[in-house]
Amino acid sequence: MLLLLAMIASPVTTNLCTESGAYCVRPLTGNLCIDSPGYCDWLYKTGYPSPIRQGALYVYTQATTTNISPLYQLDFFDWTVLIIYFGILAILAIYGIYRVKQVIDFWRYSRFPPQPRGEFAEAELPRLTVQLPLFNEMYVVERLVQSITEIDYPRHLLEIQVLDDSTDETVKIARATVAKYAAQGFDIHYIHRDDRTGFKAGALEHGLKTAKGNLIAIFDADFVPNPDFLRKLIHHFTDPIVGCAQMRWSHINGSYNLLTRLQTIMLDGHFVVEQTTRNRSGNFFNFNGTAGIWRREAIEMSGGWQHDTLTEDTDLSFRAQLMGWRFVYLLDEHAPAEIPVEINAFKAQQRRWAKGVLQVWFKLYKRIWAAPLPLRVKVEIFFRLTGNISYPLMIVTSFMQFPLLLVRYNQGLHQLMMLDLPLLFFSTVSVVFFYGTTIYYLDKKRGSRLLHLPLVMGLGIGLAFSNARAVLEALAGVKSDFIRTPKYRVEKTSDESWKAKKYKRKHGWLPLLELSFALYFVLAIGYAVRMHMWGPIAFLLLFCFGYGYMGTMSLLQNARPQRRMSRLTPTKLNAFISGSHSRLGPEVCAIDKKSDSRP
């Protein structure tokens, strides 16, 4: 590090003179490489004759490939750095090719939405149970239950189960809410467990034992389904081999802050491109744990809800499809949901998903490869379930950026074109195509969200340490608890009440590591500028933003509530904790299906 600081701080020699403290004006020669020092460095580094001044004239030296970097030697260290770097870049490029194929397939299949085999007559509608798994959701439980009671479905065919594992004030609020709607004639039941065995999967399995419905709809606490939700999905179950049907998530608070704006793009990429392509191309599609309906028989025949992974939804989805059940995904219908506004909650959610999906791979890969499935389906499952392995590789790539600047200082443009460009295209530019496709499909006014794409890439890089930890735990077989995502009922961009509410996660030590890497990239950028290495700077800035944003926001958002809590009056605090919030207005729920990612 001291060496790096010394190199950046070292004086830069120049041909400019000074008179009376001011720079002299040097006459232009007409040679761009001479008039703009550093512009043609890439030529000189690759053996092109370089100009030197002899009196009033400039002459060109003999072509040379001698490196002018004081640290560069093509030795074992250099080859090690290059081999590791290009090896990792090649792996990421392979996953990038897979992402490009998904984009191509999306445009191929997006014009063919799934159609139900038939329609249930009103008198033939099946009995349905709605399960609402909760754990300490005091701010949103009333909103959730009220939205379910407003769903358009015959009341005598609809059962509601509030599956509550809570240990705080949520218990009292949920009981009162259930009693309120039971008095209005709804078939609604409050089921509380003192033993939280199996977490969400355990609660769903426990509720299934007493459920009356042949079909089971599931909603997490952060959802506010539209009244026509069941009507949009139910008719797909006229096909007896359909085991599950789900619709796309949309976002209640997608425009709240920069974090939510970037999240909407990331989530929309999954729900628009990935899920649509997988479902319509005959590949395995995974239920996302909420905003969907299951056939009870499919759950039971596939082994039921199991809690040996952190993504019980993906686990059951793949087991069911291995049994032959067919899944349906509706891209152009949506279920509004609240997304995390706080960075540590977002990181915890992403970490759980990253670890759980890889756990599903280790659990099922033998069954998958032994199953009588087309090879293309098995390969797609491999890419789907192992994609998070990129996060540890990203950390290695991050750490190697400065050694790479030293090693590659002598390489010119033709090496970059032959080696870097193809790999960088598939490993990074493919991300732009992927999320750009999502924005193009959903949004009518696309400019603003398209400008966020570099920041989306930076946010993905910033998740590297958090998600790499999850991946390494999955590889090592380390078990961990199901960490829920806090919900604060944030519906308006002006709402800052969540900053004084409960459930915030501690940031731990990761932000310090993220900030140290951000500083590392600041120094690397300084070195690149000092040595006129302009090409890598944009790439380095993405890493610097990603780690810096993650680390800074993790510390700041965790510290602010503690200062504000001292200024809250008891009346204000009770208003936050009580469930007396107004129902979502129609302006929140009436989200156009083509532009609902930013309500």
Tokens of 10: 């070292």
* DSSP per-residue codes, 441-492: HH-SS-HHHHHTHHHHHHHHHHTHHHHHHHHHHHHHT------PPP-----S
DSSP 75: S
Residues near 58 by beta carbon (within 8 Å), at least 6 away in sequence: 29, 31, 34, 51, 52
Please state, in angstroms and as integers, the Cα–Cα distance from residue 448 to each residue in 149, 152, 182, 348, 443, following that order: 37, 36, 46, 28, 10
Residue 54, phi then psi, degrees to nearest 5: -130, 100
Active site residue 313: yes
How far is it, in rounded angstroms, from Cα 438 to Cα 451?
Answer: 13
Sign of the CA dihedral with 439 first, then 442, 446, and 448 last? negative
C-alpha triplet 129, 131, 597: angle, nearest 5°: 110
Residue 131, phi then psi, degrees to nearest 5: -105, 130
* DSSP per-residue codes, 7-39: HHHSPPP-S--EETTEEPPPPP-S-HHHHSTTT
Choosing from 165, 220, 315, 420, the catalytic residue is 165
* DSSP per-residue codes, 239-301: STTEEEEEEEEEETTTTSSHHHHHHHHHHHIIIIIIHHHHHHTTS-----SSSEEEEHHHHHH
Sign of the CA dihedral with 441 first, then 229, 490, and 133 last? negative
How far is it, in rounded angstroms, from Cα 140 to Cα 219?
Answer: 12
Choosing from 164, 222, 313, 443, the catalytic residue is 313
Identity (one letter) of the amino acid at 13?
A: T
DSSP-derived 3-state class of residue 344: helix
DSSP 497: G
Burial (CB count within 10 angstroms: exposed 0-12, middle 13-18, buried 19+), residue 439 = buried
How far is it, in rounded angstroms, from Cα 220 to Cα 203?
Answer: 12
- How many beta carbons lie within 10 A of that of residue 24, not counting itself? 9
Residue 222, phi then psi, degrees to nearest 5: -90, 5
Burial (CB count within 10 angstroms: exposed 0-12, middle 13-18, buried 19+), residue 419 = middle
Identity (one letter) of the amino acid at 287?
A: F
The residues annotated with a catalytic role in the active site are 165, 313
